[in-house]
Structure 1
Amino acid sequence: MELKKLTEQQLAERLQPIFEHLHQNPEESWKEVETTAYLVKLLQEEGFQPQTFENMTGLYVDIGKGTPKVGFRTDIDALWQEVDGTFRANHSCGHDGHMTVALGAILLLKELEATLPGAIRIIFQPAEEKAQGAKLLVEKGVVDSLQFLFGAHVRPLIELQDGTYAPALHHGAAKHFTGKVDGMEAHGARPEQGVNAIEVAAALIDGLKRIWISPTESASIKMTQIQAGGTAINIIPGSATFSIDARAQTNETMEALTNGFEKVVKAVGTLYGISIDYQVDAHIAAAQVDDTAKNIMKQAIIGVVGNEKCAPEVVTPGGEDFHFYTYSKPQLQTTMLGLGCGVTPGLHHPKMTFNQKRLPTGAKIIAQALLLALQQVEGREES
């Protein structure tokens, strides 16, 4: 099957107003109400039957007949950040572009819907920035029937040249811990009568530095927030809250960091004779790229833009909630398209921009990858 009916120029003209609307109407995680409504209306106008959720934002839509075996996932939320002195929702991670790519792929696949050998599922996932959306969609069974799942992400110039495309993104793992130190207040003149929460936190920081990870593995763990004490300087603070950011290139290394953190907390708590409570607020799994899915994506890239614009796989320290799907469902074959579109100054920068002309190309690559995967799945079942 080939994508012939819509030219890239025609597709670009269809997608431009869609991108502009999504870009100008960002919504933060779990508040993507208007975004969801806009996507539903757009899909219904194209003759599809999008499926929403009773208790959360986001949706999915199936193209073709039968149980979907292959799919594409896009994120729909924006970041909450300061822009020109005002905090607001802002699409500085490219999710407006990812949604546009997804909708472009849908428009392309619509032309072939009657002849598709099976069904394709397009997933519009909320709360990627909070690393929570994928987990809930897994729990709701949205990916249960899928054998292949693809994603896409715009890339900065330091990783991909504008106009090139990578068949895999090897994101790292991340964990965010928050906790509380329960010490004991005392007069500043009698520190021996209390347990200084700041000193406990300092011991935690020192302990984190002593977590040994092989030098061949990329990893870091550090305290990024601490709050303790009031307005009085002469009071030993008895309580403190803290946040920990952990990063690792692989899930195995993240497990080693987590075990080390737990040992540090236990040792420091025993040393000071107090309790230190903590919880995991977010867990982003590292990429587990499937070779077959990667080769399908590579074939799609070459088929759309040629071999010279197919870039090598990208290894990046950033995290992506997409990889939680494979972390939860190891049998799921996944990869992410790296969309080289000249992201500057960088992802999450409040003034981030990129070359929007690459979005129709990204849509064609994704649509082609979905077709190739569907043909492979149907071929397996027939044999």
Structure 2
Amino acid sequence: MMDEKMKEVFEHMHAHPELSYEETETTEYIYNYLQEAGFNPVKFSNTTGLYCDVGNFDAGNPIIGVRADIDALFQEVDGVKQANHSCGHDAHTSMVIGTMLKIKDDAALESRGVRFVFQPAEEVGTGALSVVDEGVVDDLDYFFGIHLRPIEEATNGYAAPSIEHGAAGSLQFRIVGEDAHGARPHLNHNAIEVGTDIVNMLSKIHINPVIPSSVKMTQFLAGGKSLNIIPGNAECGIDMRAQTNEQMEELKGRVFNILKNIEALYDVKIEDMEFSGIVASESHQDAIDVLRTSIVDVLGEEKCLEPIITSGGDDFHYYTVKMPELKGAMLGLGCDLKPGLHHPNMTFEHSALANGAEILYQAILNVK
């Protein structure tokens, strides 16, 4: 019965994807679904999404959080640009609701409280921060997330007790100078040549090679239809990756120093700098141990993988970075996902949904 209900939620979510911070109908659907199932959900006051408490929140009881992300990506699917659940958030939501349905009348809830969080805007990396601002994470002792894993990391029937994501950052900025006539190159600094020097200088950044990191120019727009104008302005973007938050801070410092030196060298301005990013995982060992035990309980010891280290990112880790005392970790679920996360035609074995919900259920029971 639970499998059928999860399938129902998944199919609805999959057919009605919504972009980050636009998940109004998704929020309404989950809210109504939970109300009809006998729960008392609460919508967030300042953003899309909602949460729902079950169990006993009396003093002395452990308070456990379980998070599902609810937003979709925007991408081209079969020639049409649209919202699309190619990262598995529809599956995450269905598994968390499946967990709720399974634990709803469990006697174990007399000795613990559980807060189920349906978080918006994971894909833009700020939804977790919005939830933190709502204050609903403040009283949690444990916090568990879940994410489908590509087949290269975990096959169907296997699971990992944590996903150790890296930090990711994007820096947008403008090179601001003056245009000049193509016959008079001495009258300005060619923004394309300035950008080329930035690319070359980025390639000379050398930091601890033991910790994976990378930096590269991923956007450069300069010039126009008139090819006899030397462009003085350009719009630029840089992508940064690092496996630890400390490595990311060092990488950011080197990049900002390069741009500062470029300003002085070429007498141009670097303006409208806008940095956005997500932090690397800082999982808590106690939470990892609970998930490991739960995987073994459900799938057997031979199906429990080591923590997955990946260069991808997830804003779930803002919870533990912002609140170091919070015991948080993200379950990695094998499901034969291919050809990869964010591929417009991503597929996975739907039978894995039952495994994910069962492991989350056991994790709630295994918290002491």
TM over 0.5: yes
Give the conservation status (yes or no) of the 8 Å contact 1:63–1:113: no
Give the conservation status (yes or no) of the 8 Å contact 2:290–2:363: yes
Look up the SS of the partner of 1:107 in the other structure: helix
Give the conservation status (yes or no) of the 8 Å contact 1:300–1:365: yes
Tell me, in whole angstroms, the C-alpha distance in 1 between the residues paired with 2:4 and 2:341.
26
Deviation per residue, 1:337-373 (Å, 9 max, x gap): 1100000111010100001111111111111112222
Q: Which residue of the other structure, out of 183, 188, 193, is the alignment partner of 1:194? A: 188
Q: Does 1:24 align with 2:15?
A: yes
Q: Does 1:54 align with 2:48?
A: no
User: How big is the shift at 1:114?
Assistant: 7.6
Contiguous gaps of at least 5 residues in structure 2:
none
Counterpart for residue 294 of structure 1: 288
Q: Does 1:84 align with 2:78?
A: yes
Counterpart for residue 69 of structure 1: 63
Look up the SS of the partner of 1:214 in the other structure: coil
User: Which amino acid in the other structure matches residue 10 of structure 2?
Assistant: F
Q: Does 1:41 align with 2:27?
A: no
Q: Which residue of the other structure, out of 77, 80, 100, is the alignment partner of 1:106? A: 100
Q: Map of 1:151-170 to 2, 5 A cutoff?
A: 151-170=145-164
Q: Does 1:313 align with 2:307?
A: yes
Q: Which residue of the other structure, out of 175, 185, 201, is the alignment partner of 1:181? A: 175
Relative to structure 1, the CA distance from residue 325 to residue 45 in structure 2 (aligned partners, 3 Å threshold; closer, same or farther) is same
Tell me, in whole angstroms, the C-alpha distance in 2 between the residues paired with 1:359 and 1:35.
19
Tell me, in whole angstroms, the C-alpha distance in 1 between the residues paired with 2:128 and 2:199.
31
What's the RMSD between the two structures over aligned residues? 1.3
Deviation per residue, 1:77-107 (Å, 9 max, x gap): 0110000111001110000000011101111
Give the conservation status (yes or no) of the 8 Å contact 2:173–2:235: yes
Counterpart for residue 346 of structure 1: 340
Provide the identity percentage: 46
Q: Does 1:123 align with 2:140?
A: no
Q: Map of 1:232-271 to 2, 5 A cutoff?
A: 232-271=226-265
Tell me, in whole angstroms, the C-alpha distance in 2 between the residues paired with 1:161 and 1:129.
24
Query: Which 10-residue stretch deviates more, 275-284 or 205-214?
Result: 275-284
Contiguous gaps of at least 5 residues in structure 1:
1-9, 377-383
Query: Normalization by structure 2: what TM-score?
Result: 0.96
User: Which amino acid in the other structure matches residue 15 of structure 2?
Assistant: Q
Query: Which 10-residue stretch deviates more, 110-119 or 290-299?
Result: 110-119
Counterpart for residue 222 of structure 1: 216
Look up the SS of the partner of 1:12 in the other structure: helix
Deviation per residue, 1:198-222 (Å, 9 max, x gap): 2221121111111111221100011
Q: Does 1:368 align with 2:359?
A: no
Deviation per residue, 1:96-135 (Å, 9 max, x gap): 0000111011111102168431311111111100001011
Give the conservation status (yes or no) of the 8 Å contact 1:290–1:333: yes
Query: Which 10-residue stretch deviates more, 100-109 or 62-71?
Result: 62-71
Relative to structure 1, the CA distance from residue 55 to residue 138 in structure 2 (aligned partners, 3 Å threshold; closer, same or farther) is closer
Give the conservation status (yes or no) of the 8 Å contact 1:69–1:120: yes
Relative to structure 1, the CA distance from residue 136 to residue 46 in structure 2 (aligned partners, 3 Å threshold; closer, same or farther) is same
User: Which amino acid in the other structure matches residue 334 of structure 2?
Assistant: G
User: How big is the shift at 1:195?
Assistant: 2.2
Give the conservation status (yes or no) of the 8 Å contact 1:58–1:124: yes
User: Which amino acid in the other structure matches residue 61 of structure 1?
Assistant: C
Tell me, in whole angstroms, the C-alpha distance in 2 between the residues paired with 1:243 and 1:127.
22
User: How big is the shift at 1:168?
Assistant: 0.8
User: Which amino acid in the other structure matches residue 18 of structure 1?
Assistant: V
Deviation per residue, 1:220-258 (Å, 9 max, x gap): 011101111111001111211111110011111111110
**How many residues are paired up?**
365
Counterpart for residue 139 of structure 1: 133
User: Which amino acid in the other structure matches residue 57 of structure 1?
Assistant: T
Give the conservation status (yes or no) of the 8 Å contact 2:54–2:109: no
Tell me, in whole angstroms, the C-alpha distance in 2 between the residues paired with 1:338 and 1:328.
22
Tell me, in whole angstroms, the C-alpha distance in 2 between the residues paired with 1:331 and 1:64.
22
Counterpart for residue 4 of structure 1: none
User: Which amino acid in the other structure matches residue 14 of structure 1?
Assistant: K
User: Which amino acid in the other structure matches residue 56 of structure 1?
Assistant: T
Counterpart for residue 330 of structure 2: 336
Deviation per residue, 1:161-184 (Å, 9 max, x gap): 111011011111100111111111
Give the conservation status (yes or no) of the 8 Å contact 1:64–1:113: no
Counterpart for residue 7 of structure 1: none
User: How big is the shift at 1:326?
Assistant: 1.2
